[in-house]
Structure 1
Amino acid sequence: MGELPVNVRGVAAASVDASYQIAAAAGADSFWLADHLNSPYPRAVASTQYVGAARLMPDIDAYLEPWTTLGRTAGRHRIRRLRLGIGVTDTGRRNPAVTAQAVATLHLLTRGRAILGLGTGEREGNEPYGVDWSRPVTRFEEGLATIRALWDSKGALVTRDSPFFPLHNAVFTLPPYRGRWPEIWIASHAPRMLRITGRHADAWFPVLLFRPQDYAAGLDAVRSAASDAGRDPAAIRPATLFFAMTGRSRDEIDEALAGPFAKAAALNLPGEVWARHGVAHPMGPKASGLQDLLPQALDEQTVLAMTKDVPAALLKESILTGTPAEVIEQVAVWRDHGLRYAVVCNASAMQPSLYRGLAATLPFASIIRRLRRL
């Protein structure tokens, strides 16, 4: 189960605590936090006028730092000890040596429960903070190699040439937990990143894939790359991160999908997905969506104008929607296309009504329970 760790009025980590407890009670295997400096959704429509959750989370850009928060979560919740993952961090704004230390620390403190989700990141979390956004895939590959080099060094000094992260007599002596380093789950979509995943990942972990057939094609590419690298393709876990919009009735869900806040989420989808539904992405047909969007720079009227014609079908292609039974049917189709591990994040807080968003907690917990039986 996944969670967006946004600061909550009164108790900063209240939503994280509640989500972890739901995950544990529903029998989830793992608990994941997103890693952002600010929200990938436009702050201009994240007000009580458009989304009920804004009454509890007054600033959608106020993200908690995930490694610190996961450490707190591990120490606070001891009844069911779920695996803990970051879904996902990037190799641009955080030096990979620091990431290697953070996840190795969490792995030791939790007795082997840490998972490192890695991706290239997004422009909104790099460029505004002075981090070079050019060549993100090359930077990612070098960051991944840096993490592996430090983990595999066994305390020996490491010197490694790199255009981004050169090492000169670097030392890393934190030990693996019982001889095992954290698994690395890679979020990848495009051909080059899929090849990197096949060569190096423990799991393929894409976010915002849109159709089961796209997933099957990507998984084939990952497995082919693994085979070419002399790895066992079956050793790479086929996973993904879903967002799910659920509720007590179909009418409540459809009403939420028609709201400005839910429609604004469509800006994170690429132009080709918009085109499949007969509408043009406001940033052009070749817009990449999440990776290059700068949502914090958009004002309210601009967001409303950009998204006024977003059809519900476009949103339904990018997130799971419906009653628990309907959502499970949708995931079953993905299972039939190769998926074996689903991390689901509750998007029901996008409801215009705070009451309806909170009431969706029970059907969402039902989804988590039913997933274990798929």
Structure 2
Amino acid sequence: MEPGVNPRFAPNLLLRNTRAHAVAGGADSMWLPDHLNSLPPASIWKPAYTGVAKLIPRADAFYEPWTTLGYLAAHNKFTRLRLGVGVTDAGRRNPAVTAQAAATLHPLSRGRAILGFGPGEREVNEPYGVDWSQPVGRFEDALATIRALWNSGGTPINRDSTFFPLRDAVFDIPPHKGTRPAVWVAAHGPRMLRITGQYGDAWFPSYTQTPKEYAEKLDTIHAAADNAGRDPHTILPAAIFFVLTSRTNAQVDEMIDSIPARVWALTTPAHVWARHGTEHPLGPNCTGAQDLLPHTINETTALDYAKHVPPSLIREALLCGTPADILDQLAQWRDNGLRYAVLANISFFHPRLSVGLASSLPLIQILRGTKRL
């Protein structure tokens, strides 16, 4: 997964770098996040804590993903990577606009578009005046609206709904060779898992869980698909994994001990913190990334939070280790149902820029090894 932020030197520097790594590693797809700001607080995004701040000075300078995916589609003629957004949400964009964006990218990428879709997080909705109440209900309504528009064949349609009613709505972008973009659902809770089974083409979670929990949730999705009259095995079990990797375990330990990695642990739900014998700094009911408002956390507070993060929590929340270590971890996920892993390299959290940049080779080794699992 590409970071999707504005770097120094050239606006497309990271895009070209990530695409080169994807090709070298034999990856099937390339992804962009849909954020307006970063999950690690910008207050600790400084060279004193992470070397990559010299290359990416603005932690919150995220590119708009659909525009950027269009740029990638224009440079994807020979690499033939699938292009996905991981993930866009149902709050900030009217689903008709999301349906249009994905249906546009699909033919321009020669049928390689993937719509990663989820209820979103508070940090990219509430600060911008978007109603954050009922995110799951809004998501389900948005997904049904997208499907209705894609299936309308250009005929004006009417649809009553709580959030997105349609009144003589016209959607006339045709399918590409009879196909629409696959919808990969970022589901975690019970209701979202059921929605995935009813409507999703893939399950695409990103937040902390164990391989065993993944298998149990996959069973819930399969049951929901069966109840909806769908073949459960048509739903691809996928996931996003954030990676800390290097050639040596000593450098991986330094990444785990870094301030950005420790603060990243705030995105992990409180019940996971409890498994490691400590309470989430934002309270015992914090859901992690979905609740987090990182731009409200100043440097002093972030550093204080970092003191309370056990390394074992980071090792559970992220894939950590040398390429061999991480491939062993991914094999456990495979044995619990995973069939498609999207890797987001955050090894640049290391305090030294040179070490973070050198993680590219181990990442390529992991990508190549993943294809053999």
Normalised to the residue count of structure 1, the TM-score between the two structures is 0.99
Structure 1 counterpart of 2:268, one-letter code: L
State the 1:210 CA deviation. 2.1
Q: Secondary structure at 1:164's aligned position in 2?
A: coil
Can you list the C-alpha shifts for 1:187-243, whole angstroms capped at 9, x where unaligned? 101000000000000000111232101100110000000001110011101101101
* Cα shift readout 1:86-119 (whole Å, capped 9, x = no counterpart): 0100010011100000011000111100000000
1:91 maps to 2:95: no
Are 2:151 and 1:155 equivalent residues in the alignment? no
CA distance in 1, matches of 2:245, 2:239: 19
How far apart are residue 158 of structure 1 and its match? 1.2
1:10 Cα deviation after fit:
2.1
Q: Is contact 1:6-1:64 (8 Å) kept?
A: yes
Residue 13, structure 1, aligned to residue 12, structure 2? yes
1:128 offset after TM fit, Å? 0.3
CA distance in 2, matches of 1:128, 1:289: 17
Secondary structure of 2:148's counterpart equals: helix
Contact in 2 for aligned 1:209/1:215 (Cα 8 Å): no
Counterpart in the other structure of 2:200: 201
- How many Å separate the matches in 1 of 2:5 and 2:306? 24
Give 2:166's aligned residue: 167
Structure 1 runs (4+) greater than 3 angstroms displaced: none
Give the Cα–Cα distance (whole angstroms) in 2 for the partners of residues 135 and 254 of structure 1. 40
Q: Structure 2 regions of 5+ residues with no counterpart?
A: none
Aligned partner of residue 117 in structure 2, secondary structure: strand
Cα RMSD of the aligned pairs, angstroms, is: 0.8
CA distance in 1, matches of 2:162, 2:46: 42
Aligned to 1:373: 372
**1:319 corresponding residue in structure 2:** 318
Q: Return the alpha-carbon distance in structure 2 between the equivalents of residues 331 and 25 of structure 1.
A: 20
Instruction: Give how far 1:257 is off.
Output: 0.8
- Which stretch has the larger CA shift, 243-252 or 4-13? 4-13
**8 Å Cα contact 2:30/2:81 also seen in 1:** yes
Aligned to 2:257: 258
1:121 and 2:87 aligned: no
| Count of aligned residue pairs for this structure pair | 373
Q: How many Å separate the matches in 2 of 1:78 and 1:112?
A: 12
Contact 2:76 2:109 in 1 (8 A): no
How do residues 1-374 of structure 1 correspond to structure 2 at under 5 angstroms?
A: 2-374=1-373
Name the SS of the counterpart of 1:6 in structure 2: coil
CA distance in 1 between partners of 2:114 and 2:349 (Å): 28
Partners of 2:142 and 2:11 lie apart in 1 by 31
For 1:346 and 1:34, locate their aligned partners in 2 and report how far apart those are by CA, in whole Å. 13
- Post-superposition shift, 1:260? 1.1
Give ranges in structure 1 of 5+ residues lacking alignment: none
